[in-house]
Amino acid sequence: MRFLLRRAAQALFVIFGVACVTFFVLRLVPGDPARLMVPPGSSEQVVQAIRIRLGTNLPLLEQFWVYMSGLVQGDLGISFRYERPVLELVLTFFPATLALGGVAMLFSILVAVPLGIAAAAKPGGLTDRLVLVLAMAGQSLPNFWIGVMLVLFFSIQLQWLPAIGNDNAVSYILPVLTLSAVLIATLVRTVRQAMLEALAEDYVRTARAKGVPWRRILFVHALKNAAIPLVTVIGLQIGFVLGGAFVVELIFNWPGVGLLALQAIATRDFPVVQGVVMLVAVVFVVANLLVDIAYAYLNPRVRLGVEQ
């Protein structure tokens, strides 16, 4: 319990830090958002009007205060383009991203765990070598390329699957595959490595001396130990999934926050950009908090406070 409270406090600190970083990064980067928002050659008056609307005419610290106090109250500003509160807008688009990312994560775990176990069960065997080659290739493939090639093949050539939108279950197939390819490569390697390490431990020898069948050693004795590093890596990959969602949503015209952010960037709708960044950071931090809880559940040393 104390462990969880400490982690929650850390999470809050990180979210505060992210808010600071987004704020200052966007303010300190050379370039005036107001000037970017108006057609070239506009008068200084027009630019100044936009600055006042953005609040960028105020001194930096005052801007920071306005931004932070708004944030605490859940006020992320108003979108120029949609003329709606950013928070509301972001929350409307978020479920689609969550669904896509969630399904991709689940699919990747379901594929990678059995593959990784199979590879580790016989190191140097055919499955193992195949898994390693695929993992290496997957690691080097740009996911947006996988995405467009899938569209080219399945939507345009074969016309089997829809290329855009998220209307039904079928429309999930290509985006999920695109998002999962690299993820599977990373996870399968982690599972394999963690299983190999667990299998080399003394307790595996003890289990064998007890007469535990090999299959049970793999799936019970080794897997529960291997799950600990796996959970950590999954936590880190959540950020990757959220980042990857931007590209995938663009390719498949998926109505999530990634697409929203990219459109906002194109239309210079900065409050929305900032809102999405904040949301993604919060989701990432919360997801990692959940991962920490799962980690504690799996690792009795952490749960019982013996180790951090």
Partner 1 sequence: MIRNRLLRPEVLIGLSLVAILLACAMFADWIAPHNPTRMAPTVKYLPPMWLEGGDPRFFLGTDQLGRDVLSRLIHGARTSLTIGISAVAIAATFGVIVGLVAGYFRGWIDTVIMRLADIQLAFPFILLALSILSVTSTKSALTIIVVLAVADWVIHARVVRSRILVEREKEYVRSARALGASDLRIMFLYVLPAVLPTAIIIALIELAVLMLVESILSFIGLGIDPPAVSWGTALADGRRSLANAWWMLFFPGMAIFLAVLAINLVADGLADVLDPRLKLSGIVRRVLRSKSARETDTAVVEHPPLLAVDNLSVEFPLEAGGTVNAVKNVSFTLRTGERLGIVGESGSGKTVTAMTVMGLLDTAGRISGGSVRLKGRDLIGLEESKLNRLRGSGMAMIFQDASTALNPVFRVGWQIEEAILLHQPVSRTEARRMALDLLRMVNIAEPERVAGSYPFEISGGMQQRAMIAIALSCRPDLLLADEPTTALDVTTQAQILRELDALIARLGTGVILISHDLGVIAEFTDRVLVMKDGEVVESGKTADIVTAPRHPYTQQLLAAVRKLEGEEPVTERALVHSPG
Binding piece for partner 1, criterion CB under 8 A, among 77-85, 95-103, 107-115, 187-195: 187-195
Q: Is residue 200 close enough to count as binding partner 1 by CB under 8 A?
A: yes
Contacting partner 1 (CB under 8 A), which of 142, 160, 165, 170? 142
Q: Is residue 285 close enough to count as binding partner 1 by CB under 8 A?
A: yes
- Would you say how long the chain is, in residues? 308
Q: Which of residues 209-248 bind partner 1 (CB under 8 A)?
A: 209-214, 221, 224-225, 228, 239-240, 242-243, 246-247
Contacting partner 1 (CB under 8 A), which of 113, 117, 230, 277? 277
Which residue in 283, 271, 294, 293 sits closest to 245, CA to CA?
283
Tell the smallest beta-carbon distance from residue 54 to partner 1 (Å). Answer: 11
Tell the smallest beta-carbon distance from residue 250 to partner 1 (Å). Answer: 6
Tell the smallest beta-carbon distance from residue 156 to partner 1 (Å). Answer: 6
Three-state SS at 164: coil
CA–CA distance, 53 with 33 (Å, rounded to integer):
11
Other residues' Cβ atoms within 10 Å of the Cβ of residue 215: 9
Which residue in 275, 76, 86, 99 sits closest to 172, CA to CA?
99
CA–CA distance, 308 with 299 (Å, rounded to integer):
10
Q: Which of residues 244-273 bind partner 1 (CB under 8 A)?
A: 246-247, 250-251, 261-262, 265-266, 270, 273
Q: Distance between alpha carbon 227 and the CA centroid of its chain, in Å?
A: 20
Q: Which of residues 98-127 bind partner 1 (CB under 8 A)?
A: 120, 123-124
Whose tokens are 């040393």? That residue is: 301
